[in-house]
Amino acid sequence: MPEPSSIVLGIETSCDETAAAVVRGDGVVLAERLLSQLDDHRPYGGVVPEIAARAHLDHLDRLIAETMAEANLGYEALDAIAVTGGPGLIGGVMVGVMTAKAIASVHGLPFLAVNHLEGHALSVRLTDDVAFPYLLLLISGGHCQLLIVDGIGRFQRLGTTLDDAAGEAFDKVAKMTGLGYPGGPAVEQAAAAGDPARFTLPRPMKGRKGCDFSFAGLKTAVRHALDRLPEALTEQDAADMARAFQDSVADVVADRTGNAIDLFREARPNGRDLVVAGGVAANQVLRARLTDLAADSGLHFTAPPLKYCTDNAAMIAWAGLERLDTGVTDPLDFKPRPRWPLDSAAAGR
């Protein structure tokens, strides 16, 4: 655990959220600011990298100043600056990294380039008392992986998506059914009023060995089912399709996570926890399934609060605190990384 009195400023700009947070080693978030670019990207039905980078550039300095003012701290009170160094949309990552380096060099502070995925992976330890090793389902707009988290910078990947990420599939299905952007929350809301028996969709990878995922075929199946509708899409059609899609994702995720739990229990008999992170972890249906699954396997299920499931800067500051505690910092010539796998042994797969 980090030194309780250490204080780190965290910066996140890898996708469509511009965020800054000041976090203390005892887990207290002293201040945080988050600006979502949803309205900027909504007309395009997805994140446009150039628009994202420009928006980060326009707002980041102000957000950092506001966060520091709210924390009532000067830069001399900080122990380090942590920033997402990748993976992500490179223009945005560059804005964050440049800004963090400038602050670090002007104020003579240690600089930490945090892997965004490690931020998600460790976010649970900011809010909950979860010890290593734990099994992590990282399920977001850009990723869908099952990992054993053994410690800071120590991960073993058990499985990953072979094509789309789960959140990406939610976003695409929302677009196809006219449910809008961002897709995840819209699909979840619509699904609540949907008939689960109306459409039958496949369960890609279910029943297969291993822990990999695939969502591209599911998305295509949704497209074909929609194409076969005799009339123009109604609100009820969209709700029924959202329900069928969400049920399929929940089934597949439960199946794959079930396999991962078996592997985890065998490989780490002392492990006690199943943890979920990433934006899709906000989904209540998925959470309920994972809670049951963990209980059936004798594991304790933990999900960070919703605001720390989606992209945020507190998790970056926290990962920075954890890394600082191991004595690791990064050089100021660190280069932003558009790709940066957590488990380098599994990187090529």
Q: Do the bridges between strand 273-277 and strand 80-86 make them parallel or antiparallel, or are there none, so unpaired?
A: unpaired
Residue range at the interface with ligand KG4 (CB under 6 A); choices 18-26, 149-157, 272-280, 329-337: 272-280
Q: How many residues bind Zn ion (CB under 5 A)?
A: 2
Q: Per rule CB under 6 A, is residue 318 in the interface with ligand KG4?
A: no
Q: Per rule CB under 6 A, is residue 341 in the interface with ligand KG4?
A: no
CB 8 within 8 A of CB 22: yes
Is the Cβ of residue 133 or residue 182 nearer to ligand KG4 in the bound state?
Answer: 182
Query: Locate tokens 């924390």: which residue?
Result: 71
Tell which positions 97-156 bind Zn ion, by CB under 5 A.
140
80 membership: H or E segment, kind and range: strand 80-86
CB 9 within 8 A of CB 20: yes
Is the Cβ of residue 188 or residue 330 nearer to ligand KG4 in the bound state?
Answer: 188
Q: Shortest Cβ distance from residue 106 to Zn ion (Å)?
A: 28
Tell which positions 285-304 bind ligand KG4, by CB under 6 A.
none
Cis geometry, peptide bond prior to residue 182 (ω within 30 degrees of 0):
yes
Residue 55 CA, chain-centre distance (Å), reads: 20
Tell which positions 75-94 bind ligand KG4, by CB under 6 A.
none
CA distances (Å), 117 to each of 88, 108, 140, 211, in order? 10, 27, 10, 18
Structure tokens that stand for 288 in this block: 């309920």
Crossing angle between the packed helical segments 166-176 and 235-267, to the nearest 10 degrees? 170
Helix H segments across the chain?
38-41, 49-71, 90-107, 116-127, 166-176, 183-191, 216-227, 235-267, 284-296, 306-309, 314-325
Is the Cβ of residue 208 or residue 223 nearer to ligand KG4 in the bound state?
Answer: 223
CB 69 within 8 A of CB 22: no
| Interaction partner, residue 310 (Zn ion, ligand KG4, none; CB < 5-8 Å by kind) | ligand KG4
Is the Cβ of residue 92 or residue 194 nearer to Zn ion in the bound state?
Answer: 92
Is the Cβ of residue 127 or residue 140 nearer to Zn ion in the bound state?
Answer: 140
Q: According to CB under 6 A, which one of 171, 212, 273, 322 is a site residue for ligand KG4?
A: 171
Residue range at the interface with ligand KG4 (CB under 6 A); choices 55-63, 104-112, 177-185, 212-220: 177-185
Q: Per rule CB under 6 A, is residue 119 in the interface with ligand KG4?
A: no
Q: Per rule CB under 6 A, is residue 194 in the interface with ligand KG4?
A: no
> Which residues bind to Zn ion, rule: CB under 5 A?
140, 311
> Which residues bind to ligand KG4, rule: CB under 6 A?
15, 140-142, 167-168, 170-171, 182-185, 188, 278-280, 282-283, 310-311
